[in-house]
Structure 1
């Protein structure tokens, strides 16, 4: 099983995320690996999430290579940074695409702080 498949499986099992209680929309992930395109459709209805393997219409379409998708699913790549580098293309609601980034794991890094001199 790939990290990408495991990521979508976790969303399927969870079924709901309270951070998305005010969100309604759909995101299709088009993940290219050579000539093959793997598609996942994430539908969100007030925090309830449904994942399917579908090429159906979506509010937002996120396109990425399999390599970038795998790195994101492992928490090694930040989605916003990948968008700015052109590694991820977004068609549709960019705000929804950015919110979806919260679902991906984050790589461990140095602890964040509030700012200079604050504790």
Structure 2
């Protein structure tokens, strides 16, 4: 099992995340590896999470390579940094996509900066 699959399956098992209690919308993750595309659809309704494998339309579509998805799922990559570098493409509601970033593990260097108070 990949870190990406484990991440989405964990979200499905949790079923609710209070950090998203004010969020409502759908986000589809299109994860590309060569010619193959793996799709995960996340439906958020005031913190209630429903995860399916679907290519249904969504308010935001996040397109990444399998390597980037793995790094994000392991907490090795910051989503905003990935968007800035062009490694993460967002089509549709960018604000919604940014809010979903809260679900991913925080990169270790970000935790250190938060603890030390330095944002260098």
Residue 65 (structure 2) pairs with residue 61 (structure 1): no
CA distance in 2, matches of 1:82, 1:49: 24
Partner residue in 2 for 1:23: 23
Counterparts in 2 of 1:77-92, with a 5 A limit? 77-92=77-92
CA distance in 1, matches of 2:46, 2:107: 27
Deviation, 1:106, is: 1.3
1:19 is displaced (CA, Å) by 1.0
Alignment correspondent of 2:33: 33
SS at match of 2:86: coil
Bigger radius of gyration among the two: 1
* TM-score, length basis structure 2: 0.92
CA RMSD of aligned residues (A): 1.1
Structure 1, residues 61-82: CA drift from partner, whole Å, max 9, x if none? 0000000000000000100000
Q: CA deviation at 1:34?
A: 0.3
In terms of fraction of residues, the more helix-rich structure is: 2
Provide the C-alpha distance between the structure 2 equivalents of 1:27 and 1:44, rounded to a whole number of angstroms.
8
Structure 2: 5+ residue stretches without partners: none
Distance between the aligned counterparts of 2:60 and 2:34, measured in 1? 23
Matched with 1:98 is 98
The runs of 4+ residues in structure 1 deviating greater than 6 Å are none
Question: Matched residues in 2 for 1:33 and 1:43: separation?
Answer: 24
Between the aligned partners of 1:99 and 1:14, the Cα distance in structure 2 is: 18
1:111 deviates by 4.4
Q: TM-score, normalised by structure 1?
A: 0.93
